[in-house]
Amino acid sequence: DSGVTQTPKHLITATGQRVTLRCSPRSGDLSVYWYQQSLDQGLQFLIQYYNGEERAKGNILERFSAQQFPDLHSELNLSSLELGDSALYFCASSGQGYTDTQYFGPGTRLTVL
Amino acid sequence: AQKITQTQPGMFVQEKEAVTLDCTYDTSDPSYGLFWYKQPSSGEMIFLIYQGSYDQQNATEGRYSLNFQKARKSANLVISASQLGDSAMYFCAMREGDTGGFKTIFGAGTRLFVKA
């Protein structure tokens, strides 16, 4: 158990819908990262938050947004869902430095039908 | 730009033997960290080992060691005494020391099969 929690574990929805994925970081970690893992794109970095502020952005679509709340949990919002958004979405957390290990949550498997 | 390359899509190893999984990287930042993760069929991402760009010695964690050759920009993972439970996908990752944020990139992964 990494100490990072993600809910829900599985999510099935239809095209055009909007979903919210939730992540709670390890105790003491201020950084939260979101990743998308799909069969054709591999593991893609989406976005990083540090203590409530956006710090780094990767290949995140405009239809996707994220935020980190004062209690440090984070949410990833996916809207206008398409079939290609079906993937495993990971949240990870770490300490402050670039040398700090990112610990991953169990992931949320999103299926868009 | 950051880049991570894992050239071995799949590898086979006999149980109890050692195996090396290759990883090369490209960065212009002198400060960076290299990580290896294991992803078993259950899907979770498990941290294995870390190497910092300024570390003088190769990192070791139990049966895992990282063969860090900075001049060649390679960070190969060595698993000694392979076990059946080592069968999984292995990812190499890099994070640069950019104070603006810590974007991490992952390689495409190597699937390791351990034979009994």
Task: Report pLDDT digits (tens) over B99-110.
Answer: 556 778 899 999
DSSP for residue B84 = G
CB contact under 8 A, A102 and B33: no
Residues from chain A that touch B106, judged by Cβ atoms under 8 A, are: 42-43, 45
For residues A65 and A56, give the distance between their C-alpha atoms in angstroms, rounded to a whole number: 13
CB contact under 8 A, A56 and B102: yes
Provide, rounded to the nearest whole percent, the portion of chain B with pLDDT above 90. 81
For residues B88 and B41, give the distance between their C-alpha atoms in angstroms, rounded to a whole number: 6
- Distance from the B67 Cα atom to the nearest Cα atom in chain A, whole angstroms: 18
CB contact under 8 A, A107 and B33: no
Residues of chain A with pLDDT under 70: none
The token duo for B115 is 């034979």
Residues from chain B that touch A92, judged by Cβ atoms under 8 A, are: 45
CA closest to B93 among chain A residues: A43
The token duo for B98 is 């950019």
In which band, very low, low, confident or very high, does the pLDDT at B98 lie, cut at 50, 70 and 90?
Answer: low
Task: Select from B71, B72, B68 the least CA-distant residue to B57.
Answer: B68
Mean pLDDT within B25-48? 93
What is the tens place of the pLDDT at every residue in A93-111? 998 777 788 999 999 999 9
CB contact under 8 A, A48 and B101: yes
Element (H, E) at A4: none
CA closest to B45 among chain A residues: A104
The pLDDT value given to residue B97 = 67
CB contact under 8 A, A48 and B103: yes
The pLDDT value given to residue A54 = 92
